[in-house]
Structure 1
């Protein structure tokens, strides 16, 4: 069943649901079983990390970041990465966390060629 979900280009995976709800243990188990889910976009153009950020699930964001620092570079709707979301939210502590984990993410731009 999980392999079938992985074949659909834009889908709300179990990891998206866990990220939205802040279910850390389940989300991390999904990361172990299907790491590819962490890079998938749902129909709204958001990755699990985007959703966790948008819903204030900071502990989960930090766990996802620890599991794979490059998740900060996943481009969602309009080319926005989780880093861009943090910039628009104005969360300076989270911005520092993301930049320390993945300094290369500073190079990512949106479809409008904007940094943040």
Structure 2
């Protein structure tokens, strides 16, 4: 990535972004041609530069789907670095970003279940209900992840949501070791 573009992303300098695009209108297109790449959107997400991230995601939405060299999308990076406002901004561009499968097929929903960010968990389920069906490489749902990591508040949110939307059958889904969530009666104690 162009050093000036990286610096603009780190600083959230939208004016510099447009100055660079005026010089080279295909700048973002060339980045988009690379399958696994750190984009200016990744950089902005790492630094919590929400406005810059939204500008890039608006100009080139496909960059929000890209994984970097360690298998993380911009949404994953925003969450990992604690920039919740940036993550929320990205879902206003495309709620399906909650379903982007990063390293080990972990989605942002899996991540917030593991870290027990219950407000964000409820918000993600609300704007992208299909994300509850996404599985990691270990065939784990977000509920499996929350149980495995002893995140009882996240489990309550997830199970309550499954009950409200009549999708309790997901509790019977088995991970790669054959464990379902119904086997431990987790939902009966929530």
TM-score by length of 2: 0.60
| Structure 1: segments with no counterpart, 5+ residues | none
Structure with higher Rg: it is 2
Residue 127 (structure 2) aligns with: 101
Deviations 1:45-80 (A, max 9, x none): 000000000001011111111111000000000000
* Higher RCO (CA < 8 A, seq sep 6+): 1
How many residue pairs match? The answer is: 116
Q: Please list, as runs of the form range in 1=range in 2, the aligned pairs for 1:67-106 lying within 5 A after superposition.
A: 67-106=93-132
Cα RMSD (Å): 0.7
Which runs of 5 or more residues in structure 2 are unaligned?
A: 1-26, 146-190
Matches within 5 A, 1:1-116: 1-115=27-141, 116=145
Counterparts of 1:66 and 1:32 in 2: how far apart (Å)? 10
Superposed structure 1 runs of 4+ greater than 4 Å apart: none
For the 8 Å contact 2:58–2:93, the answer to whether it is kept is: no
Instruction: Indicate the residue corresponding to 2:13 in structure 1.
Output: none
TM-score of the superposition, structure 1-length normalised? 0.97
Q: CA shift at 1:89, angstroms? A: 0.6
